[in-house]
């Protein structure tokens, strides 16, 4: 790493620049360091706590070739490699499956405590409609991210905490670096790198609200705000599946927390207001099926007047199962679970857990080739696969690939000073306004539009109106005033969120069918077999483009 102080700001040069220090960024950093690259990680929060894994995680997806026929690479690839997934068998095998043992070894070294049977083998459970028992259970998962972070720092990655990236830079069609600023001090940063890995997080939850009305009271990390889509889109990267990857879950009524995977996979039964267990109507694997089916099913019951309320019944669990789930796995997924249940007076073994459909989480992914590189030369994606396992493994594989590419043909580009000056001006403009709109009003209005038109039932007219209104909201972007650096950070987050919402709406408008995503279109209620492929979007010469098919 080389740091140069200039009048404009700090210039940081490195081999591999990793944007975002969540699970994917951490995996990428460890791998790139092990490949011998000089590594800089940039994170707007702090490595130890950022990303969805920062809130804890109680399950780790691991196919180990150790058990029955479902514990194989073949079964794994078959499950994940669908026409709409955008992933190839090679990508899944090399980028995720083969990395699992490497990541497991790292986690074991960092003393992540996987639950084990008496014979020493891992406790493994099934979920998400997967054919095998692919989940290892983590005890004390609330410290998982800290343990990973310890490894990242020990490997010698240079971590820039509290730095927000606001713009990617291209030189001669290749990615060359990025611009950003320190969110606590306002220091301006210019990063130059041979290769860049985008690990900014592909879930965006703060754009809609659950029944609590608090947009930060979310299931996934509310501080992941869509830069993963907004920044690469701006430089022409292709993005896929923003229409069908969108997802929701069930959360304890009024409280944004993960945990449904543990609850479902241990045998939780969902009941409607009539006390009926209904999920069999919507998924052959009942609650343990696809999450989108559980959400669609619950929503259907709601439309039919059979709820709210909805409940999860775990009273039939053995005392030991209920205890492990409530007091070990759940706090591992969300460290404050015990306080919440105790303040609400919930005991899994004794009470029904009231649940609701969570806020909608925007999702999608950058289109990548088998080495996880995007269509922009030198720009890799670490956030390719789902869950903490997919993030760590995919990030790791992207780290390996980026480091090797940097070694073989990497070179540093130049930073165009004029671009940097303009960006610095843009970044800090909200601080200079004497009067204007608060970030809360700006991002709150985005949610108003998304909650109203982009919910679990949609139609063409509604989505067109949503887009129109999102574009109208954007005319206010220059009026957002920030009184301090905290407000400035939230302002930029709001702008990212806005972009993610626009891209999602633009994509959804073009998928004229229902059944592949968590929502349904009332104007196209059925599956269209011709649309059994990813919808890809990108920007070319400032214009929105789309195509069907990932490659």
Partner 1 sequence: MPPVFSREIERPLISKACLTYQTRTSPCESACPAGNPIQKVHGLVKEKRYEEALEFLRSRNPFPGTTGRICTRPCETDCNRREWDEAINIRGLERAAADTADRTRIKKPMRMERSGKKIAVIGGGPAGLTFAYFSSLFGHEVTVFEAGPTLGGVPRLCVPEYRLPKDILDMEIGLVLETGVKARTNMRIGKEISFEQLRASYDSILIAVGAWKERKLDVPHADKAIKGVEFLRHVNLGFIREIGRKVVILGGGGVAFDCAFTARRLGAQEVHVVCLEGADCMAAPSDDLAQAIQEGIMIHNGCMASRVLEKEGKVGGVEYIEISGFCFDDAGEVRVEAAEGQKKVLAADQVIFASGVKPELDFINGAGIALNPNGTLKIDPVTRATSISGVFAAGDVATGSSIVANAVGQGREAALAMHRFLTGDPKVQELLAIGEDFQIRVEAVSCQGQAHVVSFEEMFNPEYYGKKPRKEGVRSAEISFSEKCAGLDDSAAVEAERCFHCGHCHKCGKCVEDCPGLILVMRERGPEVRYADECWHCGNCRTSCPDSAVSYVFPLYTLV
Chain positions contacting partner 1, by CB under 8 A: 45-46, 48-51, 54-56, 142-143, 146, 162, 183-184, 212-214, 216-218, 221-223, 253-256, 331, 334-336, 339-340, 343-344, 486, 489-490
- Contact criterion met (CB below 8 Å) for 56 and 141: yes
Q: How far is the CB of 442 from partner 1 (least distance, A)?
A: 15
Cα–Cα distance measured from residue 136 to residue 59, given in angstroms and rounded to the nearest whole number: 6
The answer to whether 64 and 71 have CB atoms below 8 angstroms apart is yes
Q: Which is nearer to partner 1, 56 or 410 (CB)?
A: 56
Residues 6+ apart with CB under 8 A from 420: 8, 9, 179, 188, 190
Asked if residues 540 and 173 have their Cβ atoms less than 8 Å apart, the reply is no
- Taking the least distance from each CB to partner 1, the nearer of 54 and 95 is 54
Residue in 143, 546, 531 with CA at minimum distance from that of residue 331: 143
Q: How far apart are the first and last CA of the chain?
A: 35
Say if residue 213 is exposed, middle or buried (CB neighbours under 10 Å; 0-12, 13-18, 19+).
Answer: exposed
Closest separation in Å from C-beta 54 to partner 1: 5
Q: How far is the CB of 434 from partner 1 (least distance, A)?
A: 23
Closest CB 255 distance from partner 1, rounded Å: 5
**Which CB atom, from 216 or from 544, has the smaller least distance to partner 1?**
216
| Pairing of β 535-540 and β 520-521 | unpaired
Could you tell me the strand order of the sheet in which 353-357 lies?
250-252, 353-357, 310-313, 269-271
Q: Is 218 or 261 the residue whose CB approaches partner 1 more closely?
A: 218
The DSSP result for 313-336, as a single string, is E-TTS-HHHHHHIIIIIHHHHSTT
Please give the Cα distance from 280 to 257 (Å, whole number): 25
Cα angle: 504, vertex 507, 511; to 5 degrees: 130
CA distances from residue 153 to 195, 205, 365 in whole angstroms, order as listed: 20, 29, 27
Distance in Å, CB of 513 to partner 1, minimum: 35
Nearer to partner 1, 397 or 439 (CB): 439
132: DSSP letter = S
For tokens 């869950």, what's the residue? 387
Which is closer to partner 1, CB of 48 or CB of 363?
Answer: 48
Choice between 149 and 169, CB closer to partner 1: 149
Measured from the CB atom, the residue of 114 and 162 that comes closer to partner 1 is: 162
Question: Is 457:520 a contact under the CB 8 Å cutoff?
Answer: yes
Q: Tell me how far apart the alpha carbons of residues 181 and 322 are, in angstroms, rounded to a whole number.
A: 46
Q: How far is the CB of 485 from partner 1 (least distance, A)?
A: 9
Nearer to partner 1, 234 or 441 (CB): 441
Q: How far is the CB of 161 from partner 1 (least distance, A)?
A: 8
């Amino acid at each position: 790493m080389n740091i140069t102080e200039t009048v404009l700001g700090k210039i940081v040069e490195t081999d591999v620049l990793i944007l975002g220090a969540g699970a994917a960024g951490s995996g990428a950093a460890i791998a790139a360091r092990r490949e011998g690259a000089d590594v800089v990680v940039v994170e707007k929060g702090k490595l130890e706590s950022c990303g969805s894994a920062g809130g804890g995680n109680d399950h780790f997806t691991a196919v180990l070739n150790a058990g029955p026929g479902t514990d194989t690479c073949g079964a794994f690839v078959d499950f994940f490699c669908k026409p709409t997934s955008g992933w190839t068998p090679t990508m899944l095998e090399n980028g995720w499956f083969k990395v699992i043992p490497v990541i497991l070894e790292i986690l074991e070294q960092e003393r992540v405590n996987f639950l084990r049977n008496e014979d020493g083998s891992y406790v493994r459970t099934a979920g998400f409609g997967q054919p095998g028992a692919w989940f290892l259970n983590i005890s004390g998962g609330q410290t998982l991210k800290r343990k990973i972070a310890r490894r990242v720092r020990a490997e010698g990655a240079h971590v820039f905490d509290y730095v927000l990236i606001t713009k990617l830079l291209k030189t001669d069609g290749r990615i060359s670096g990025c611009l950003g600023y320190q969110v606590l001090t306002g220091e301006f940063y210019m990063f130059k790198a041979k290769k860049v890995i985008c690990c900014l997080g592909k879930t965006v939850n703060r754009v809609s609200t659950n029944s609590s009305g608090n947009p930060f009271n979310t299931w996934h990390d509310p501080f992941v705000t869509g830069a993963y889509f907004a920044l690469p889109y701006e430089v022409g990267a292709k993005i896929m599946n923003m229409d069908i990857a969108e997802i929701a879950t069930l959360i304890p009524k009024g409280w944004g927390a993960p945990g449904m995977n543990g609850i479902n996979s241990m045998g939780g039964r969902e009941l409607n207001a009539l006390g009926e267990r209904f999920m069999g109507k919507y998924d052959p694997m009942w609650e343990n099926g696809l999450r989108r089916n559980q959400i669609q099913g619950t929503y259907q019951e709601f439309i039919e007047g059979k709820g709210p309320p909805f409940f999860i019944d775990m009273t039939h669990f053995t005392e030991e199962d209920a205890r492990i789930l409530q007091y070990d796995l759940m706090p591992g997924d969300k460290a404050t679970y015990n306080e919440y249940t105790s303040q609400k007076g919930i005991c899994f073994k004794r009470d029904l857990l009231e649940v609701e459909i969570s806020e909608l989480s925007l999702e999608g992914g950058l289109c990548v080739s088998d080495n996880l590189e995007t269509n922009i030369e030198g720009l890799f994606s670490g956030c390719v696969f789902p869950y903490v396992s997919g993030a760590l493994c995919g990030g790791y594989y992207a780290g390996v690939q980026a480091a090797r590419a940097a070694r073989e043909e990497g070179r540093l580009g130049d930073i165009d000073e004029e671009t940097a000056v303009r960006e610095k001006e843009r970044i800090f403009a909200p601080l200079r306004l004497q009067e204007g709109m608060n970030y809360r009003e700006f991002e709150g209005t985005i949610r108003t539009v998304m909650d109203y038109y982009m919910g679990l039932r949609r139609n063409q007219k509604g989505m067109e109106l949503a887009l129109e209104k999102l574009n109208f909201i954007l005319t206010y972007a220059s009026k957002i005033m920030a009184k301090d650096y905290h407000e400035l950070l939230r302002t930029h987050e709001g702008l990212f969120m806005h972009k993610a919402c626009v891209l999602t709406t633009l994509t959804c408008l073009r998928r004229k069918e229902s059944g592949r995503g968590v929502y349904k279109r009332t104007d196209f209620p059925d599956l269209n077999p011709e649309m059994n492929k990813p919808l890809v979007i990108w920007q070319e010469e400032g214009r929105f483009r789309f195509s069907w098919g990932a490659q």
